[in-house]
Amino acid sequence: MLMICMRQLKVLGPEELRDKVCIIVGTRPGIIKFSPIIREIEKRNMPSFIIHTGQHYSYNMDKLFFDELSLPQPKHRVPNVSSARYHGKQTAKMLEGIEAALLKEKPRLVLVGGDANTNLAGALAARKLHICVGHIEAGLRSGDWRMPEEHNRVMIDHISDLLFAPTEESKRNLVEEKVEGKRFVTGNTIVDAIEQNVVIAKAKSKIKEELGLKRGNYFLLTLHREENIDFKENLVDILKGIKMVAKVSNFGIIFPIHPRTKKRLRYFKLNSLVNSIKKLKIIDPTGYLDFLALLESSSLVLTDSGGIQEESCILRIPCVTLRESTERPETVKVGSNAVAGTKPKTIMNNVKTMVNVNRSWKNPFGEDASRKIVDIIEKELAL
């Protein structure tokens, strides 16, 4: 009788949960940033499994990273997410799929990492089932309420039990917002990901030879954020800025293009503007090893990516951020990053300044974050 009542409940009781950790991935940066944690969990023989939300699905945004980082395959993949156009539908499909998998597996902890819709869906599914939620990269804030990522950061932090803030500054944001969960400062797992892969990247990657590049004779560009590329005027401004940069510098600009950006250039009929930028070389999104190889040898990176602001800081490559704000203010403070906005002249002026910047800054993202996070998990859950 008791068992029948239990099954009718909408939540999982503590006695139903099993001693295993669920890792939610679904986007390119999530897979990369979870890779050292997955390794650490495997090293300790901690029972775990992966749910893939299906948010990213093209080979070079998804499976490529599992292959080159030798990650275990996801046990569950949420189906049919790629067809969802709007945030609500995409998040809803992922939420439903994750919930179904969690009901089968009943893990004691769900880990999400970052600020993509994938992570909101994962945290919410677990929260509602009364499963403990751990948020890696907690406490980041851009203060820019146009960004879908900012909505997600705030919501995920407020429904998480364990908050793994990468820096003291991100922890302060959690304190100021009176976020409920337990707060820890652990550093950022991207430091581990770089450490584990940059040497391999230097040895194995052939991308620079293939593109005819030499250390320090090119800029790198990435662009995909909604507030930049889904608004034609912002996208045009950025492209004009890149054109000005290309005119005043001797360097080529390598642009591994995110599939979303490729689609927007076509939709807004901007391909002729792009083609008029003579030194711009568009390539497909690369794997992690090739990207690290490109980044660590570049003269400077222009980007709206969150992860690349961190990686460039760690690798001592100057960064010009093509956004109005950053949730990684530590990079600006140490001097590796300039937040340039999207206006053409400001972009060019920031490139001129940053390309000659002294690169002796210190990495503000700590070290050994993955080990620290897994230590905390073991202790908190007595796994």
Catalytic residue numbers read: 224
26 contacts 52 by C-beta, under 8 angstroms: yes
Binder of residue 321, out of ligand UDP, ligand UD1, none (CB less than 5 to 8 A by kind): none
Residue of 116, 125, 140, 253 that binds ligand UD1 (CB under 6 A)? 116
* Contact between 259 and ligand UD1 per CB under 6 A: yes
* Contact between 309 and ligand UD1 per CB under 6 A: no
Scanning 40-48, 109-117, 211-219, 274-282 for contacts with ligand UD1 by CB under 6 A, the matching segment is 109-117
Binder of residue 108, out of ligand UDP, ligand UD1, none (CB less than 5 to 8 A by kind): none
Whose structure tokens read 């490529």?
A: 64
Q: How far apart are CA 123 and CA 109, in angstroms?
A: 10
70 contacts 36 by C-beta, under 8 angstroms: no
Q: Quick check: helix, strand or coil at residue 363?
A: coil
Beta bridge partners of 218: 252
* Contact between 61 and ligand UD1 per CB under 6 A: yes
Residue of 35, 117, 160, 205 that binds ligand UD1 (CB under 6 A)? 117
Residue of 74, 97, 107, 306 that binds ligand UDP (CB under 6 A)? 306
DSSP assigned state of 286:
P
* Contact between 36 and ligand UDP per CB under 6 A: no
Comparison of 69 and 109: residue with beta carbon closer to ligand UDP: 69
Q: How far apart are CA 168 and CA 139, in angstroms?
A: 9
Q: How far apart are CA 131 and CA 331, in angstroms?
A: 34
* Contact between 192 and ligand UDP per CB under 6 A: no
Nearest-approach distance from CB 332 to ligand UDP, in angstroms:
16
Enclosing H/E stretch for 193 = helix 189-204
Structure tokens at 152: 């997600």
Residue of 305, 312, 350, 370 that binds ligand UDP (CB under 6 A)? 305
Comparison of 12 and 221: residue with beta carbon closer to ligand UD1: 221
* Contact between 260 and ligand UD1 per CB under 6 A: yes
Task: Give the chain's length.
Answer: 383
Binder of residue 184, out of ligand UDP, ligand UD1, none (CB less than 5 to 8 A by kind): none
* Contact between 308 and ligand UDP per CB under 6 A: yes
Site for ligand UDP in 235-264 (CB under 6 A): 256
* Contact between 344 and ligand UDP per CB under 6 A: no
Distances (CA, A) of 127 to 120, 307, 350: 10, 26, 43
Q: What angle do CA 374, 383, 3 make, to 5 degrees?
A: 135
Q: Quick check: helix, strand or coil at residue 18?
A: strand
Measured in whole angstroms, the distance separating CA 217 from the mean position of its chain's CA atoms is 27
DSSP line for 88-146: HHHHHHHHHHHHHHHHHH-EEEEEEESSSHHHHHHHHHHHHHT-EEEEETTT-----TT
Scanning 23-31, 197-205, 208-216, 374-382 for contacts with ligand UD1 by CB under 6 A, the matching segment is 23-31
Q: What angle do CA 251, 257, 261 make, to 5 degrees?
A: 125
Comparison of 134 and 256: residue with beta carbon closer to ligand UDP: 256
Residue of 288, 293, 297, 300 that binds ligand UDP (CB under 6 A)? 288
Comparison of 57 and 231: residue with beta carbon closer to ligand UD1: 57
359 contacts 337 by C-beta, under 8 angstroms: no
Measured in whole angstroms, the distance separating CA 7 from the mean position of its chain's CA atoms is 37
* Contact between 34 and ligand UDP per CB under 6 A: no
Q: How far apart are CA 77 and CA 130, in angstroms?
A: 22
Structure tokens at 250: 């001797």
Comparison of 90 and 305: residue with beta carbon closer to ligand UDP: 305
Q: How far apart are CA 238 and CA 232, in angstroms?
A: 10
Q: How far apart are CA 322 and CA 228, in angstroms?
A: 8
x-marked contacts with ligand UDP along 130-159 as a string, rule CB under 6 A? ------------------------------
Can you give the binding site for ligand UDP, defined by CB under 6 A? 28-29, 32, 222, 224, 256, 285-286, 288, 291, 305-308, 311
Q: Which residues of this protein are in contact with ligand UD1, per CB under 6 A?
A: 27-29, 55-58, 61-62, 90, 115-117, 148-149, 224, 259-260, 263
